[in-house]
């Protein structure tokens, strides 16, 4: 097998995001430079060459702003500063300067739906009392019942329990997530002005884009109407409707006005500044409304992440996502894992089977047109850590629902024989979540230069993705090829160059012939006659030029 050579990073044009590979850095778990057991901006800075060599185009950094860290930084107390846990503004400036020098772009997370309860606006709202102008920036309301002892409506927090908390003077405030994350009132002009200014603050510091947290949530239906059921009445949690049904607190039409105001701000800066929505909508059609030339550039396609391990399931979500993105003229995004979801090695069956499938899924994702998001550690084939002791779990949702996202947030193993495997400097604190002993063999150092390792598979695929004319820089569609059941086969082409991606989800090995030469594969291919045998749960790229 030969890998394509002469990689050309796609870093120079304004449309870079259309076909970029973006690496999600979960800041507290990526690299710890100061030895306190928590990842930081200096740690990222030191590891930038690793990311350049991996072959990604951009980094998305999860929130590093001043925060009490109730929800791992998604509770922001100061949108214009860095939490001392992660460093300082000068550290950020140094990191972004180095990243740009290496040809890597930086996307930061913006959390506009809610602030921290320690944000000065919320502290002022509590102090000022009912009816005050300060309370208008949030969603305070009187309760129901004889003395207002019941929440204003039946809305549930995504983290479980009621979405309302009562304060000492008797009013209630809305928090769609933790009580420490009060929802802002986006019908208030000061809220809108503030976030436009926050966008400019980070754009002025050179960021290349924003990941918009809960992008579907900022506007709530007028009058705050009941949903009509809740887990206490029916046993079904309202959050089960995410991505499937309508909720009065998500995906309201007016939310699009906010993005129409943001787009000209992004466009007024040079270099192709972009924004990607973390949005949940009832249908792919409604999700597509977040993207386009006058709104955001991208929205995560979680249907791909949710696809089950079957050819039909992948084919359906890929076709739908591509069709929607064609209509709105924006590329789609592909994502297999992130900091909120169980890692895909584990989702696909865990252990050896899960890893085989995860490797095949990587080749599937990286062959598709559009922008791919890689979650830190997936290039190492990391599984979910399922056996973290409860007392170490920190996800606020764990306390309310028993479900925890900590298992996908365990710090990255870099090198060495002992935990935390080079995550921090020698002699530093242990990492904030412990890495299992099995991760010694999965560290970056253990996989570097090892033929067939997951890290080398990602490196090879990313190198080809950048260099191959059929994949590089294009936003064209895919051509599905007729194939036996359970085999996904599609072609990308540019001029005379053709690249075919084959993924074997059939449960039996398949002999393939007539697609050209294999250039990368997630498992060993054996030659058979003029063709090759593609093992179960494996994928390969074949080229013809
Ligand atoms: C983020 C979560 C966070 C939540 C509240 C999500 O979309 O990805 O990690 O807990 O928003 O900010």
Q: Is the pLDDT of residue 445 over 80?
A: yes
Q: Is the pLDDT of residue 271 over 90?
A: yes
d(CA 200, CA 204): 6
Top mutation candidate among 26, 181, 213 for ligand 1, by most atoms within 8 Å of CB? 213
What would the pLDDT profile of 95-117 be if each residue is shown by its tens digit?
A: 999 999 999 999 999 999 999 99
Top mutation candidate among 215, 280, 339, 340 for ligand 1, by most atoms within 8 Å of CB? 340
**Residue-wise DSSP of 58-72:** EEEEPP-EE---TTT
Average pLDDT over residues 67-90: 98
Specify the range with the lowest mean pLDDT, choosing from 138-152, 234-248, 251-265, 369-383: 234-248
387 and 281 share one domain = yes
Average pLDDT over residues 310-318: 97
Average pLDDT over residues 275-286: 95
Residue nearest to atom 9 of ligand 1 (CA): 340
Structure tokens at 90: 């000068």
Q: Is the pLDDT of residue 393 over 50?
A: yes
Q: Is 81 a domain residue?
A: yes
Ligand 1 pocket at CB < 6 A: 71, 74, 111, 177, 213-214, 278, 339-340
pLDDT score recorded for residue 399: 84
72 and 126 share one domain = no
522 and 493 share one domain = yes
pLDDT score recorded for residue 500: 97
- What is the domain-level CATH number for residue 259? 3.20.20.80
- Atom number, ligand 1, closest to the C-alpha of residue 113: 12
pLDDT score recorded for residue 13: 87
Residue nearest to atom 2 of ligand 1 (CA): 340
pLDDT score recorded for residue 10: 40
Top mutation candidate among 62, 163, 177 for ligand 1, by most atoms within 8 Å of CB? 177
Calculate the average pLDDT of the chain.
Answer: 95
- Atom number, ligand 1, closest to the C-alpha of residue 75: 12
- Atom number, ligand 1, closest to the C-alpha of residue 178: 5
Query: How does residue 481 score in pLDDT terms, banded at 50, 70 and 90?
Result: very high
pLDDT score recorded for residue 2: 31
User: 213: CA distance to ligand 1 center in Å?
Assistant: 6
Q: Is the pLDDT of residue 477 over 90?
A: no
Query: How does residue 474 score in pLDDT terms, banded at 50, 70 and 90?
Result: low
Average pLDDT over residues 360-387: 97
In which element (H, E) is residue 79 found? strand 78-82
- What is the domain-level CATH number for residue 505? 2.60.40.1180
Residue nearest to atom 5 of ligand 1 (CA): 74
Q: Is 237 a domain residue?
A: no
**Which positions are annotated as active-site residues?**
213, 278
User: Strand pairing partners for 156?
Assistant: 162
Percent of the chain whose predicted confidence (pLDDT) is above 70? 97
Q: Could you tell me if 244 and 237 are in contact, meaning their C-beta atoms sit under 8 angstroms apart?
A: no
- Atom number, ligand 1, closest to the C-alpha of residue 396: 10
Q: Is 244 a domain residue?
A: no
Query: How does residue 301 score in pLDDT terms, banded at 50, 70 and 90?
Result: confident
pLDDT score recorded for residue 476: 67
pLDDT score recorded for residue 545: 82
Q: Could you tell me if 415 and 445 are in contact, meaning their C-beta atoms sit under 8 angstroms apart?
A: yes
Average pLDDT over residues 188-195: 98
141 and 59 share one domain = no
Specify the range with the lowest mean pLDDT, choosing from 424-428, 442-446, 469-473: 469-473
370 and 296 share one domain = yes
Q: Directed axis angle between helix 454-467 and helix 41-54, to 10°?
A: 70
265 and 376 share one domain = yes
Average pLDDT over residues 189-216: 98
Average pLDDT over residues 187-201: 98
Range of the domain at 343: 13-112+189-219+254-459
pLDDT score recorded for residue 5: 28
Residue nearest to atom 1 of ligand 1 (CA): 213
357 and 387 share one domain = yes
Residue nearest to atom 4 of ligand 1 (CA): 74
Structure tokens at 11: 């870093």
Residue nearest to atom 3 of ligand 1 (CA): 74
Q: Is 6 a domain residue?
A: no
Top mutation candidate among 214, 276, 407 for ligand 1, by most atoms within 8 Å of CB? 214
C-alpha angle 89/204/48, rounded to 5°? 55
User: 428: CA distance to ligand 1 center in Å?
Assistant: 29
Q: How many domains does the chain have?
A: 3
User: 109: CA distance to ligand 1 center in Å?
Assistant: 10
User: 214: CA distance to ligand 1 center in Å?
Assistant: 7
d(CA 45, CA 474): 30
Single out the residue of 406, 416, 458, 411 nearest to residue 441, CA to CA.
Answer: 416
Q: Is 270 a domain residue?
A: yes
Q: Is the pLDDT of residue 398 over 60?
A: yes
User: 107: CA distance to ligand 1 center in Å?
Assistant: 16
Rounded CA Rg of the chain: 24
- Atom number, ligand 1, closest to the C-alpha of residue 176: 5
pLDDT score recorded for residue 473: 61
Q: Is the pLDDT of residue 205 over 90?
A: yes
pLDDT score recorded for residue 9: 35
- What is the domain-level CATH number for residue 127? 3.90.400.10
Query: How does residue 1 score in pLDDT terms, banded at 50, 70 and 90?
Result: very low
What would the pLDDT profile of 26-63 be if each residue is shown by its tens digit?
A: 999 999 999 999 999 999 999 999 999 999 999 999 99
Q: Could you tell me if 472 and 462 are in contact, meaning their C-beta atoms sit under 8 angstroms apart?
A: no
- Atom number, ligand 1, closest to the C-alpha of residue 397: 10
198 and 330 share one domain = yes
Q: Is 289 a domain residue?
A: yes
d(CA 26, CA 406): 12
Q: Is 7 a domain residue?
A: no
User: 112: CA distance to ligand 1 center in Å?
Assistant: 11
For residue 209, the SS3 value is strand
pLDDT score recorded for residue 490: 97
User: 162: CA distance to ligand 1 center in Å?
Assistant: 17
User: 419: CA distance to ligand 1 center in Å?
Assistant: 28
Residue nearest to atom 12 of ligand 1 (CA): 74
360 and 440 share one domain = yes
Q: Is 486 a domain residue?
A: yes
User: 374: CA distance to ligand 1 center in Å?
Assistant: 17
455 and 306 share one domain = yes
279 and 344 share one domain = yes
In which element (H, E) is residue 192 found? helix 189-204
Average pLDDT over residues 70-91: 98
Q: Is the pLDDT of residue 11 over 70?
A: no
19 and 86 share one domain = yes
């Amino acid at each position: 097998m030969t890998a394509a050579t002469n990689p050309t990073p796609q870093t120079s044009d304004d449309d870079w995001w259309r076909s970029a590979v973006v690496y999600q850095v979960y800041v507290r778990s990526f690299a710890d430079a100061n030895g306190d057991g928590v990842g930081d901006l200096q740690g990222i800075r030191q590891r930038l060459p690793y990311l350049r060599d991996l072959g990604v185009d951009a980094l998305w950094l999860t929130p590093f702003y001043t925060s009490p860290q109730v929800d791992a930084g998604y509770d922001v107390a100061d949108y214009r500063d860095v939490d001392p846990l992660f460093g300082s503004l000068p550290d950020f400036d140094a990191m972004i300067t180095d990243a740009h020098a290496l040809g890597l772009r930086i996307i930061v997370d913006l959390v506009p739906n809610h602030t921290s309860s320690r944000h000065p606006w919320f502290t002022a709202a509590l102090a000022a009392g009912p009816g005050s102008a300060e309370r208008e920036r949030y969603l305070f309301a009187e309760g129901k019942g004889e003395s207002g002892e019941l929440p204003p409506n039946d809305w549930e927090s995504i983290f479980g329990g009621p979405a309302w908390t009562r304060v000492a003077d008797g009013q209630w405030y809305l928090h769609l997530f933790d009580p420490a994350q009060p929802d802002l009132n986006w019908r208030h002009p000061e809220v809108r002005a503030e976030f436009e200014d926050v966008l400019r603050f980070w754009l002025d510091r050179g960021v290349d884009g924003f990941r918009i947290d809960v992008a579907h949530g900022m506007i709530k239906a007028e009058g705050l109407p009941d949903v009509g059921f809740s887990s206490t009445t029916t046993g079904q949690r309202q959050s089960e409707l995410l991505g499937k049904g309508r909720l009065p607190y998500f995906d309201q039409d007016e939310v699009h006005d906010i993005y129409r105001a943001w787009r000209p701000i992004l466009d007024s800066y040079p270099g192709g500044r972009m924004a990607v929505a973390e949005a949940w909508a009832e249908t792919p059609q409604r999700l597509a409304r977040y993207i386009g030339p006058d709104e955001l550039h991208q929205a995560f396609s979680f249907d791909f992440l949710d696809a089950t391990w079957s050819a039909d399931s992948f084919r359906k979500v890929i076709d739908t996502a591509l069709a929607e993105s064609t209509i709105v003229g924006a590329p789609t995004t592909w994502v297999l894992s992130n900091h909120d979801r169980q890692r895909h090695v584990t989702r696909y069956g865990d252990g050896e089977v899960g890893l085989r499938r995860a490797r095949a899924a990587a080749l599937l994702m990286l062959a598709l047109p559009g922008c791919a998001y890689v979650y830190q550690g997936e290039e190492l084939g990391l599984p979910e850590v399922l056996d973290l002791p409860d007392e170490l779990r920190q996800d606020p949702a764990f306390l309310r629902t028993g479900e925890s996202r900590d298992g996908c947030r365990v710090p990255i193993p870099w090198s060495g024989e002992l935990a935390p495997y080079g995550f921090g400097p020698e002699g530093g604190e242990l990492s904030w979540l412990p890495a299992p002993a099995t991760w010694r063999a999965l560290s970056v150092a253990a996989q570097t230069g090892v033929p067939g390792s997951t890290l080398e598979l990602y490196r090879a695929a990313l190198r080809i993705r950048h260099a191959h004319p059929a994949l590089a820089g294009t936003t064209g569609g895919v051509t599905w090829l007729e194939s036996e059941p359970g085999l996904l086969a599609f072609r990308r082409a540019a001029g005379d160059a053709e690249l075919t991606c084959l993924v074997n989800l059939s449960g039996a090995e398949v002999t393939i012939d007539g697609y050209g030469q294999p250039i990368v594969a997630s498992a060993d291919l054996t030659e058979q006659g003029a063709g090759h045998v593609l093992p179960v749960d494996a994928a390969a790229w074949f080229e013809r030029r």
